[in-house]
Structure 1
Amino acid sequence: MSTTLEGSGAWRPQTTGRESIAVGVSAAIGRTPLVRLDRLFPQSGIEVLAKLESANPGGSTKDRPALAMVRDAVASGRLRPGGTVVESSSGNLGVALARVCLEHAVRFVCVVDSRTNGTAVAAIRALGGRIEMVTDPDPETGDLLTARLRRVEHLLSEIPGAVNLHQYGNPANPAAHEDGTMREIAEATGHRLDVLMAAVSTTGTLAGCSAYLRRTSMDTTTVAVDAEGSVLFGGTAAPRPLPGLGAGVVTDISRTVDPDRVVRVSGLDCVVGARLLAEREGILAGASTGGIVHALGTLVPDLAPGSRVALIVHDSGVPYLGTVYDDSWVRTTLHAAPSDVATATTALRALARRG
């Protein structure tokens, strides 16, 4: 029996009648389940499909671009065994890169900021990565992402031969989703999909999925779910309480994306959506997925009955147990009591009820 590893990390077994065995954990990236959600909005009159990217080995969709970007850097000769990768991350990409760099005998330095949850930081360290913590926003822009990127530049000048993969503009980032995430969704649905919803930060996921939709002439509406306070797609900069959703700078990849619709969500919206998904479907997802669920509920009145909608479950909710799923954190950070969450949840369910 043999296996082939494609550029996006997708695993394609060559069957011999026996169960296939993946060679190395990277071979398990991709082929994530696409699950129909019948209980999330049961009276919406639409079909909801969830792409469980949380089933990737690192627990998030970032496994795909992490593997693709490292492979591309190795193939080009920019990155060699014993080298160093320095990258900015809000958490998930850092975890994915720590593992991929370990696999390729490369050192990894991850620049994070004070919003990054402790679970992700601990995971990066457990996988051999070095953490560089940014605590203060950039003095000129007041943005933490900008401060992280400045720290990356400083480290690149300080560490001999260090390489930055530049997830915000690296073509290998969206390519991993074009060949992987969207191709898998399209093949599972017979290329019949009315709406695709994805959260945006680097915008790599949406850019790659959009590229596949264009290339295959699929008649699918794309919805970018962005954070309030993000500057992507004409947004206005403001503090964002949750990492991994939105951006404080316009990324290079985002300039290549033209979503059909942009829906901006608040921190409370993300809490409501994530908790509703957990309570209704038993899927424990992260904050960005919660934002997608909330956005979907608000869009139901605009969707034709019978519409088929696919949403990306970008990551697991385990790292968010102390934030999105914790009443004390929600009260302190978002100034919302459990009664406020309950009221907002009831309103969302009512909005997503057709007839």
Structure 2
Amino acid sequence: MNHPSGATARSAPASAHLSGILDGPVDGVSAAVGRTPLVRLAHLFPASDVEIFAKLESANPGGSAKDRPALAMVRDALRSGRLRPGGTVVESSSGNLGVALARVCRAHGIRFVCVVDLRANVSTRALIRALGGEVDLVTQPDPDTGDLLTARVHRVEELLREIPGAVTLGQYSNPANPGAHHDGTMREIAETLDGRLDVMMSAVSTTGTISGCARYIREHGLPTRTVAVDSTGSVLFGGTAGVRHLPGMGAGMVTELSRHVEPDRVMRVDSVACVVGARLLAEREGILAGASTGGVVHALGTLVGELAPGTRVAFIVHDGGGAYLDTVYDDEWVARVLDTGPDQIATATAALRDRATRG
């Protein structure tokens, strides 16, 4: 169980641990990170004869899977002495990690400066500020690569030179990032399903989630294939750089973590696919999720027709959809930015259902 530094909390019994329900109060909000529900989805693709589970990382206190690595990386930096209470953390984020780090840093008396770009949702930036973080907005892409992520990384380097004693946690290379998913996310899924899982799907950006899950699968000899769902326009796993309209999926640079993981399969989705998948998940299962989860759902709809009846698939719900109400779930934004009208979204959704139905 995750506990804040110097605090203790009641241990949950195994049954409570696996269901995501605690047997009593815990000490501080950080102790509530993890043990998120694993939900069987009977209505998403009902004609596929595939058993589908969703790991609701949106149920974490900060609303996303990034709560896990944020807590792990801050604790690791404090233990090592590289970061001290009263110090400053500067980190690049597309949004969710920034929210998680703002909360964790606030709890530990640490100043937090979050470097974001224009793709970060306005509501997410406001949430970072509400939790005590400072937002440093990058408005122009890197002149050499044309990439906003690269520009954010360079801005972090500038701030580290400007702010005395500031450190960066380096989410793109920090082993504590995948370690949080090895020790938490994948372990919880495997224990809940008694290790009986055929396919594990995750969106990728830093690749921390898929890296940690893949290592757990390998170390425990599970018969589970990993599927990384990446954005078109991302350079991860041999992809080609291009425009990415939505935050939270893909990268414009090859992350250090990605060099150490080889998913069994990589599936790429565009922004419209993310919209279609997210809306289908909300329509069929009542789960309002973010753009990256929508991409995973779309990839799953493509994949299920290839899978044998009875195959068990789990995927990560990386965050909730509240921050995406004015983008993914807004017809005007989709039409203006993605050049796709409501009728086209409806047609694409029907096509996804049909594709998932055919054997």
- Write the distance in 2 (CA, Å) between the matches of 1:115 and 1:178: 29
Deviation of the 1:66 alpha carbon:
0.1
Residue of structure 1 equivalent to 2:16: none
* Structure 1 segments unaligned to the other structure (5+ residues): none
Whether 1:287 and 2:291 are equivalent positions in the alignment is yes
Residue 255 of structure 1 aligns to which amino acid in structure 2?
Answer: R
Pairing 1:1-355 to 2, within 5 Å after superposition: 5=3, 13=11, 19-355=23-359
Deviations 1:272-306 (A, max 9, x none): 00000000000000000000000000011211111
Q: Deviations over 1:220-245 (max 9, x none)?
A: 01000000000000000001000110
For 2:205 and 2:43, the matched residues in 1 are separated by 28
CA separation in 1, counterparts of 2:269 and 2:27? 40
Q: CA-to-partner distance for each residue in 1:257-284, whole Å, 9 max, x for gaps? A: 1000000000000000000000000000
Q: CA deviation at 1:5?
A: 3.1
Q: Does the 8 A contact of 2:226 with 2:265 survive in 1?
A: yes
Return the alpha-carbon distance in structure 1 between the equivalents of residues 64 and 223 of structure 2. 27
CA contact (8 A) 2:203 2:296 kept: yes
Structure 1 residue 4: Cα displacement? 6.6
Gaps of 5+ in 2: 14-21
Q: Which residue identity is paired with 1:82? A: G
Report how many aligned residue pairs link the two structures.
Answer: 350
Report SS of the residue matched to 1:292: helix
The normalised TM-score by structure 1 is 0.96
Task: Determine the C-alpha separation between the residues in 1 that align with 2:23 and 2:48.
Answer: 40
Secondary structure in structure 2 of the residue aligned to 1:162: coil
Amino acid of the structure 1 residue aligned with 2:11: P
SS of the counterpart of 1:192? coil
- Offset of 1:14 from its aligned partner? 5.2
RMSD of the alignment, in Å? 1.7
Local SS of the residue matching 1:81: coil
- Spell out structure 1 runs of 4+ moving beyond 6 A: none
> Structure 1 pair 4/269, CA: closer, same or farther in 2 (3 Å)?
closer
Q: How far apart in 2 are the matches of 1:175 and 1:132?
A: 28
Shift of 1:89: 0.1
